[in-house]
Amino acid sequence: MEELITTNSTLAILGFVGVIALLFLLITAFKWHVFFALLVPILLFGMLPTIDRQLFIDAFSSGFGGTVEDIAVVIVLGSILGEALKETGGVERITLSMIGLVGRARMPLALTLSGFIVGIAIFSDVGYVILNPLVHSAAISSGVNMAVMATGLVTSMQLTHAMVPPTPGPLAAVALVEADVGLVILWGSAATFVASLAAYLYARVLGPRIESEPDREFLGQSFVEQGREHELPSTLMAYLPIIVPLILIAGQSVISFLVDEGTISGDNILVDVAIFIGWPVVALSIGLVIAYMNAKGEQKEKRRSIWAEEGLRTSAMIIIVTGLGGSLSRILRTTPAVDEIAQFIADAGVPNIFLPFVLGVIGNMITGSTTVGVITAASIAAPMMDTLGLSPEATMLAGASGSVIIKYVNSSYFWVTTTLSRMPLRSALVMYGGGTLIGGVVSMAMIYLFWAVGFI
Residue 55 lies in a domain: no
How much is the pLDDT for 3? 83
- Is the backbone of residue 182 left (phi > 0), alpha (psi -120 to 50) or beta? alpha
pLDDT confidence tier of residue 136, bands split at 50, 70 and 90:
very high
- Give the dihedral of Cα atoms 138, 142, 144, 145; nearest 10 deg: 20
- Evaluate if residue 256 carries a pLDDT over 90: no
The angle formed by the CA atoms of residues 370, 372 and 374, to the nearest 5 degrees, is: 70
Q: Which residue has the higher pLDDT, 224 or 426?
A: 426
Highest mean pLDDT among 46-50, 225-229, 383-387: 46-50
What is the model's pLDDT at position 2?
66
Q: 108-117, 311-320, 344-353: which range is least confident on average?
A: 344-353
Residue 194 counted as domain residue: yes
C-alpha span between 138 and 82 (Å, rounded): 24
Is the pLDDT assigned to residue 220 strictly greater than 90?
Answer: no
Q: What is the pLDDT of residue 57?
A: 95
Q: What is the mean pLDDT of the chain?
A: 89
Q: Is residue 40 part of a domain?
A: no
pLDDT band at 189 (very low <50, low <70, confident <90, very high): very high
Q: Cα(133)–Cα(92) distance, rounded to whole angstroms?
A: 10
**Average pLDDT of 125-151?**
90
Higher per-residue confidence, 115 vs 407: 115
Any domain includes 293: yes
Q: Can you give the pLDDT at residue 316?
A: 87
Structure confidence at residue 185 (pLDDT): 93
Q: Does the pLDDT of residue 128 top 70, yes or no?
A: yes
Range of the domain at 352: 60-452
Give the lowest-confidence range in 71-75, 139-143, 299-303, 326-330: 299-303
* Residue among 381, 334, 335, 385 nearest 12 (CA): 335
User: Which residue would you say has higher pLDDT here, 394 or 370?
Assistant: 394
216 pLDDT band (50/70/90 cuts)? confident
> What pLDDT was estimated at residue 1?
53
- Residue 270 has a pLDDT of 84
Which 8-state DSSP code applies to residue 429?
I
Supply the pLDDT for residue 243.
Answer: 93
pLDDT above 70: residue 272: yes
Residue 335, in any domain of the structure: yes
**Residue 42, CA distances (Å) to 31, 63, 191, 333 in order:** 18, 12, 34, 13
Would residue 301 count as lying in a domain? yes
> What's the confidence (pLDDT) of residue 148?
95
Positive/negative CA dihedral, 384, 390, 391, 397: negative
- Helix (H) or strand (E) segment spanning residue 338: helix 337-347
Q: Residue 208: pLDDT above 90?
A: yes
3 state SS of 368: coil
pLDDT value, residue 325: 86
What pLDDT shows up at residue 111?
95
Are 439 and 158 contacting, i.e. CB atoms less than 8 angstroms apart? yes
This prediction has a pTM of: 0.86
The DSSP string of 249-276 is HHHHHHHHHHHHHTSS-TT-HHHHHHHH
User: Which residues have C-beta within 8 Å of that of residue 99, sequence separation ≥ 6?
Assistant: 107, 110
Q: Is 53 a member of any domain?
A: no
| Sequence letter at residue 45 | F
- For residue 21, is it within any domain? no
Q: Quick one: three-class SS letters along 88-133? A: HCHHHHHHHHHHHHHCHHHHHHHHHHHHHHHHHHCCHHHHHHHHHH
What total number of domains does the chain contain?
Answer: 1
Q: Are 74 and 61 contacting, i.e. CB atoms less than 8 angstroms apart? A: no
How many Cβ atoms from other residues are within 10 Å of residue 257's Cβ?
14
Cis, bond preceding 166 (omega within 30 deg of 0): yes
Question: Can you spell out the DSSP letters for 33-44?
Answer: -HHHHHHHHHHH
